[in-house]
């Protein structure tokens, strides 16, 4: 499983690092994006990545990429992980931590990193601290995206994504130019199977019980930035930058 995951990840990261970042305003930010499913973390990650040129590391994307491979090619650990994912439940900590700890090269990227969807439990946060400490690194900030539950449900039910490159769309607010096909790569635009209503309720519940405790965990560490999601991704992005600057005392 290890080599295979590394391969999937390198493909993804090539994507992240090749983008033309706005180098003038850039410093190496090491960030975690926190927030319930559906708040738009993926879109914020894309915007932050363009701005900072950092590596984007999404554990959800890694598992989805594994799911597109033939089951026979997957190690048993990964098959188990995908079963949890399909039900909307969290993949066990040991599997997720192993996946992330393989990303040494990316975690030490000189342009920084954006962790999206990891950590999702206090145990994962502790593991992350250990992994970073081994490289003499630490997190700069944790952006916590807040959005009322009714809006979360509306966003998730309309959410679509490219089955090939993973870019996200929305039936109301962000349609592809050609219906059903990705603007970026021409791949088919689909609904995630864990965006079905029954899996969504499990994911929201899981977030509240297992991930929300990370908010106070990172507040205690003094690196939490709370961002109230705006009407548009750009508005939310602008608030993220304001939050990051005020945390840095700028
Ligand atoms: P979302 O934030 O929209 O729920 P993600 O794309 O981050 O979705 O993750 C999709 C699924 O992948 C999760 O519901 C879970 O099953 C699995 N997963 C991703 N990251 C983690 C993690 N850090 N710990 C456990 N499971 C994870
Ligand atoms: Zn695409």
* Residues 168-216 pLDDT 10s: 899 988 899 999 999 999 999 999 888 888 888 888 999 999 999 999 9
Would you tell me how many other CB atoms lie within 10 Å of the CB of residue 242?
13
Average pLDDT over residues 224-244: 95
Which residues are registered as beta bridge partners of 161? 168, 190
Which residues are registered as beta bridge partners of 226? 144
Question: How many residues are present in the chain?
Answer: 250
Among 90-99, 122-131, 219-228, the minimum mean pLDDT is found in: 90-99
Q: What is the pLDDT of residue 69?
A: 84
Would you tell me how many other CB atoms lie within 10 Å of the CB of residue 181?
15
Q: What is the pLDDT of residue 249?
A: 84
Token code pair at residue 19: 């983008």
Q: What is the pLDDT of residue 26?
A: 57
Q: What is the pLDDT of residues 205-223, one digit of tens each?
A: 999 999 999 999 999 999 9
Best residue among 5, 39, 42, 59 to mutate for probing ligand 1's pocket (most ligand atoms within 8 Å of CB) is 59
Cβ < 6 A, ligand 1 pocket: 37, 59-60, 63, 84-85, 88-91, 96, 117-118, 120, 124, 194, 203
Q: Are 160 and 170 in contact (CB under 8 A)?
A: yes
Distances (CA, A) of 199 to 24, 38, 128, 152: 42, 13, 27, 14
CA–CA dist 112, 100 (Å, integer): 15
Categorize the per-residue pLDDT at 77 as very low, low, confident or very high, splitting at 50, 70 and 90: confident
Has residue 2 got a pLDDT over 80? no
The pTM (predicted TM-score) of the whole model is: 0.82
Q: What is the pLDDT of residue 62?
A: 86
Domains of the chain: 2-147+212-247 (3.40.50.300), 149-196 (no CATH)
Q: Are 39 and 154 in contact (CB under 8 A)?
A: no
CA of 214 to the centre of ligand 2 (A): 32
Q: What is the pLDDT of residue 17?
A: 53
Q: Are 144 and 39 in contact (CB under 8 A)?
A: no
Among 19-33, 66-80, 161-175, the minimum mean pLDDT is found in: 19-33
Average pLDDT over residues 138-164: 93
């Amino acid at each position: 499983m290890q080599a295979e995951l590394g391969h999937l990840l390198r493909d993804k990261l090539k994507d992240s690092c090749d983008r033309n970042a706005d180098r003038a305003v850039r410093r190496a930010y090491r960030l975690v994006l926190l927030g319930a499913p559906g708040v738009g973390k993926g879109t914020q990650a894309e915007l932050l990545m363009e701005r900072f040129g950092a590596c984007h590391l999404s554990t959800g994307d890694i598992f989805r990429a594994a799911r597109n491979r033939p089951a026979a090619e997957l190690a048993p650990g990964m098959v188990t992980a995908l079963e949890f994912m399909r039900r909307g439940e969290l993949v066990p900590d040991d599997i997720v931590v192993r996946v992330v700890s393989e990303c040494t090269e990316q975690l030490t990227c000189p342009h920084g990193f954006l962790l999206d969807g990891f950590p999702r439990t206090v145990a994962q946060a502790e593991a992350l601290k250990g992994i970073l400490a081994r490289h003499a690194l630490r997190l700069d900030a944790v952006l916590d995206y807040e959005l009322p539950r009714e809006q979360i449900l509306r966003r998730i039910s309309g959410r679509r994504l490219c089955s090939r490159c993973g870019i996200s769309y929305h039936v109301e607010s962000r349609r592809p130019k050609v219906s059903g096909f990705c603007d970026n790569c021409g791949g088919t635009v689909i609904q995630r199977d864990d965006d079905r209503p029954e899996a969504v309720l499990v994911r929201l519940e899981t977030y509240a019980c297992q991930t929300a405790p990370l908010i106070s965990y990172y507040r205690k560490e003094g690196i939490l930035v709370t961002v109230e999601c705006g009407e548009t991704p750009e508005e939310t992005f602008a608030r993220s930058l304001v939050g990051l600057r005020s945390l840095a005392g700028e």
